[in-house]
Amino acid sequence: MKVAVIGATGLVGTVILQLLEERDFPLTDLYPVGSSRSVGKPIAFAGKTYHVMSVQDAIDNKPDLAIFSAGGDTSLEYAPAFAKAGSIVIDNSSAWRSDSTKPLVVAGVNDDHIENGHQIIANPNCSTMQLMVPLAPLHRKYGIKRLVISTYQSFTGTGKQAVDQYESEKITDVYDKDTAAYPHKIFANCIPHCGGFDDDGYTTEERKLENETIKILRDDNIKVTATAVRVPVFGGHSESVNIEFEKPFDLDEVKTLLDETPELILKDDPSTFDYPMPLDAYQTDEVYVGRLRRDTTISNGLNLWVVADNLRKGAATNTIQIAENLIKSGRLSTEA
């Protein structure tokens, strides 16, 4: 199997390569793709040295699978070219998520969407992705009526420029607007602003949570409102989630349901201060949930706290799991 990774030198691309190796993904040829500045740069993978190539060179090699993690503009321009060359594309950017003709997939939640023959498959925003793991079984059981979400998103989700800003400020305590990724300091600060603002005062990250949740859960009746905050945290995104269900629920039953959900770890014992934190999620492939408690101000209300490593589970792991499911479904072949 020939696999291209577009954006191979970026934060998520680096983790994708790491996971392809860790999970022993059955590729025979690797085509790492980067910007013109990165072409020719050596990359170590599975005991071999590869060199970064251009997008066009990768297309010409007609890979079976093309994994994109290089930004929306790059995906919009080149994903169709890979698809035309016969590649199945899994895209990590926002380019195709809202496209009604493209499946938006969370592994273990709506895997059936990968079987419909589409050449381009969208990976959700990292904050949406981790949220779907606990919400999907709860929605099937009780029916979600309304969601109020507050996210506390690691600066690593913005990319290398944000990481450089954080590291510089940690050392100097000086904000440099000329090199900063954010309009304010991120070190020792929280910025209630993730993405650009729309005319209604919501940010793109908040709108992604609204729109992607509805698309993935396949229910236009769910009401979603969100506030997204950027925080000076390595290791993962955290989310405070208030749910209003259509049906009544038993709290112990909810805990059992979540505890039995694959790749979801329940940490919920206040007596021992056991609850999910980014340090728990860092460099892991699971989603963590805890702080479960009934919201007594509304009927059928539940509060919970969700944490996951945004670079791994929120992006890279889900991407590789989609590819693994494509193999299981027969859409990707490991035979010549």
Of the candidates 65, 82, 76, 83, which has an alpha carbon nearest to the alpha carbon of residue 99? Answer: 76
Radius of gyration for the alpha carbons in the chain, expressed in angstroms and rounded: 20
Sheet holding 65-68, edge to edge: 29-33, 2-6, 65-68, 88-91, 120-122
Is 91 in contact with 305 (CB distance < 8 Å)?
no
Is 3 in contact with 58 (CB distance < 8 Å)?
no
Question: What is the C-alpha to C-alpha distance for residues 114 and 137, in angstroms, rounded to an integer?
Answer: 19
- 139 is annotated as an active-site residue: no
Sort strands 120-122 and 88-91 into parallel, antiparallel or unpaired: parallel
Pick the catalytic residue: 113, 118, 139, 237? 237
Question: What is the C-alpha to C-alpha distance for residues 120 and 83, in angstroms, rounded to an integer?
Answer: 7
- Report the SS3 class of residue 29: strand
Which pair of tokens denotes residue 289?
């949930």
Sort strands 65-68 and 48-51 into parallel, antiparallel or unpaired: unpaired
Question: What is the C-alpha to C-alpha distance for residues 108 and 257, in angstroms, rounded to an integer?
Answer: 15
- 190 is annotated as an active-site residue: no
Sort strands 2-6 and 65-68 into parallel, antiparallel or unpaired: parallel
Pick the catalytic residue: 113, 118, 126, 194? 126
Largest CA distance in the chain: 60
Q: Tell me the catalytic residues.
A: 126, 237
